[in-house]
A and B are shown apart, each in its own frame.
Chain A
Amino acid sequence: MGSSGVARLQGLFAVYKPPGLKWLHLRETVELQLLKGLNAGKPRAPEQRVRFLLGPVEGSEEKKLTLTATSVPTLTTHRLMRGPAFTSLKIGVGHRLDVQASGVLVLGVGHGCRLLTYMYHAHLTKDYTVRGLLGKATDDFCEDGRLVEKTIYGHVTREKLDRILAVIQGSHQKALVTYSNLDLKSQEAYEMAVQGTIRPMNKSPMLITGIRCLYFAPPEFLIEVQCMHETQQQLRKLVHEIGLELKTTAVCMQVRRTRDGLFTLDDALLRTQWNLHSIQDAIQTAAPRVAAELERNLRRQEYIADQTAKTQVREREGTHRTQQSHKTDSLNRGPKTKKDQAEKCRRGD
């Protein structure tokens, strides 16, 4: 039971992190619960070992002694002698969430920790819902921070907010293309841009691929942000900056991640479901999707590597051709016209 339990416990799954819980505590709680489940399996049958014992020969009248091999029960492998079968598990955490943020948190168990690295290098976008409150400014952009300023917000309308969000999205769109290091002059890059799948595949500052307002009832508003390479504090700063653009101030009340790569809220497990069986089922359900996504991203990365290699080759070839032409000119000191040739013969070379 234990061995098959651990065999099914390899892969990625998503957990809903509640606000106020540190991600490290969450990881330790999940580890404890999994260990509890694994150690609760039925105990092993008592083992035996072979001993050579002295005893009388069977079927003989004399008192002859001989050594016979017998199975004797042994207690060395008893559960009370060896302790619990599982004492630790390798559990990795994907993109972290800070204490006040909540939402989907991807964890990897066993061999799934390797998949976490692949998912990181796939540079997928994440979805957040950010709740803001107009009229206040605090030092750490949170509602319970030290108050710095209070402003009026009566002049703020939905249209103004939408306009500002569109401006933000536009500026980040340009940055996306810049940081992606793709030569837009190529056909393939153009097609990717048309489809909207251009994004940087290495380190870059926070980039917003999409932002829109879901709900506006002053002083509260709710925006949905699709971004990559972000931290939650940067999202809170974004709310503050939106407030400044609207000529008022705003603080962030809630940052909640609704999607991390391909794990959505539906895949996330709640606190009551942090046990062995639910996690095993979640891993099994997510496994094919994860494999497909990584496959796709692997192909994309190969394609991009191909692209960059091609552009480099083209550049190198270009310089080489110009160099080649110079070389042939210098070598070709032979007569270019008949007149020269005649001149050459006349000179007697």
Chain B
Amino acid sequence: KDKEEDESKEEDSCSQQNRASRKKNYQQKNSDGKKAGEEGSRQRERGKKAPTKDQKESENKEKKTNKKEKEGDDKQKTDRKNSTTSSSNSSDEESLSEEELAMLMEQVEQKKKLISTMRNKPWRMMKKLSVLREAQAFVEKFEGALGKGKGKKLYAYKMMMAKKWVKFKRDFDNFKTQCIPWEMKIKEVESHFGSSVASYFIFLRWMYGVNLVLFGLIFGLVIIPEILMGMPYGSMPRKTVPRAEQATAMDFSVLWDFEGYIKYSALFYGYYNNQRTIGWLKYRLPMAYFMVGISVFGYSLMVVIRSMARNANESTADGDDDNFIFSWKMFTSWDYLIGNPETADNKFASITTSFKESIVDEQESNKDENIHLRRFLRVLANVLIICCLCGSGYLIYFVVKRSQTFSKMQNVGWYERNEVEIVMSLLGMFCPPLFETIAALENYHPRIGLKWQLGRIFALFLGNLYTFLLALMDDVNEKLAEEDVVKNITHWTLLSHHNSSVGNGSTATPPPLDPADVPRGPCWETTVGIEIVRLTVSDILVTYITILVGDFIRACFVRFMNYCWCWDLEAGFPSYAEFDISGNVLGLIFNQGMIWMGSFYAPGLVGINVLRLLTSMYFQCWAVMSSNVPHARVFKASKSNNFYMGLLLLILFLSLLPVAYTIMSLPPSFDCGPFSGKKRMYEVIQETIELDFPLFVAKIFSYVANPGLIIPAILLMVLAIYYLNAVAEAYQRANAELKKKMQMQREEEKNKRNNKASTNPVLQDLEDLFTPSTKSESHLKEAEDKKIDSPNRTSPVVKQDKAAALGGSPMTGGRGTAFTLPPHMFMTRPPTPHVWAPYPGQPRPRGYPLGPVPGRGRGQPRY
């Protein structure tokens, strides 16, 4: 026994030394090597040993009980006192009987469990340390006796790899979020203006992504091949500026109108040649042009619908977790990782905004006033708005009619020429605020109000769009008529040129006519393209100027004139502008519609749009942050911005219609564009099939295009849609049912708890302090433990403090008491759970010297 005590002391001093060396190491690092040379290196060696030990201990903690057998043995291996301990253990082992062995096993298991759950206990570090130490000593002692272990190293390695992997994944996630463009910008806007404003910017970003893809498609497959491999500028009439325009073709005012050199560039439809293949690659440009035109629509449709479906999925996926909105916001919204004042400011702002959003939601759901009055008001508002829409529709119709008569007359004034545009922009300016005033009658939740507002303005703008289209159509028809005439003239000119050269009686080959001199048709496709590009550009400018004047100048004025004004500008009339979500979203959507419509006739349009979106992202972010104020009622954006997507889909469809119409039923111009010389644009496909594919493919196509096949296919699709719809409905119903059940269950649980709590509130109180892991113990035990625990917490005992200060290195001393308890003492103890109850309250036999190391105070009883 004495020998063992000695050992323990030795061990303890050893560990102390270890710790000392560690501290010294630290000092060394800091104070640049007080001790140098051999001594230092030896210390380092020791320092290295200490961590390995620590590792064991920390892993001990994490270990589950099923690994129990393996540890002890390994521990012994690593132990410096390896031989002596094992010998003493083995001597004990021989004296054990079978029953005792089993008991021992059980105890060891319990200790193990304690060690593994040690982390989870809300004890003070000191208590943890002492309990841990004791338990470890016990386990260590007996596991060697009972078990054998292998694979410890493998396990450690695995743990390490798992940790590394987790860390890597986290870093990778961080990296990924950093890669999302403008994420920080949008987050910043969101934290100050709420998720509804941020939803606009997210939508803008999404749009930018889509446009980037379209841009890549068009540039990669149409424009770049044309520039690289097509005939160069000036080689043929369609690629040359006509003689009459050449003088002014480089003027800025001309270029600004997209005439002159820009008109005869690869940005527009008319520049492309109808040569079937170009360059050494035999690139089939007309075919590519057609396919890209189609696939722009195809891709957009696919993307919009896919994102709609995903949004719908998301909104159903996490729709049921709304039981604890406020609690979660209250207790989990602060991110404890934040250590940067700016981020913290943002976080405060965002938490406040999110609270406000939820409050608005809550107030809305609580409102139940006069329902009849509300209904009446809503009906009234809708009637008013429909009147407005009808009136504006009629006004547009009237103006368009008038403009047609004006266009036939000569010498009309500036107003008459621009009447349509003026009326349109006036309508666009005054109707939305009018709608907003009317919408105030309805008193909707702002989110729903926004949707209504969007829908109404959308309806208004549709009129705008369609008058524009009608005007274009008229234009096109005119151009078509004109074209027939020009066609003859061109024919005649070429012929006469030929004739004249022949008539001169010289050589058979006439001198080539300069391409700039050839009379040419109006090329309606390019006209349409130019029209749309102009509209887009002016739209961009108007948007930016509105932001600059309406928001920035106003904000500056309000801000700086407030000092010398007779009323409070900030609170009073002009004040700061709010961010106009509906207007901006609609602007974006209509702009996109224009892009879709125009991209077939002006391939360069998408490039302009990409630029526009890029600049407006930065510009609007800046404008919002610098000169707007948050809405009076900040509201949460709906989880899925499917409403925006729905509008986008609608506009996509609407812009698809005119393009499809022109492709299918208007003849292309005879002297410009990739399809010149064909009756219809789609003939390019037939041509490719006939010329480039084997015969049977052409046959198959002709069969497939048979109406007898198409009509059944459409029927089949309709049936499939019907079926899927029915299935979806059934699922929805089932979902609602399940939700109801869950709600009911929750209520039931609440009630049950209510009853329980009323019967035994004391128990409840006691349980509060403890983790689930200790709940298995009897409540008596808990009470006892609490009694002991609480004085510790409230009244600082000097000795305890001492010990606490000592515990600075929580695990190195772990072996200190390891060898102090003679092994056979444990066999006398019954294996009850009380044995491993919290240490200080535990009645334990102290017949043997515990071997407290002087001055460490760990093994000493605390009471």
- Asked whether A and B interact, the reply is no
Which residues from chain A sit less than 8 Å from chain B, CB to CB?
none
B residues whose Cβ falls under 8 Å from a Cβ of A: none
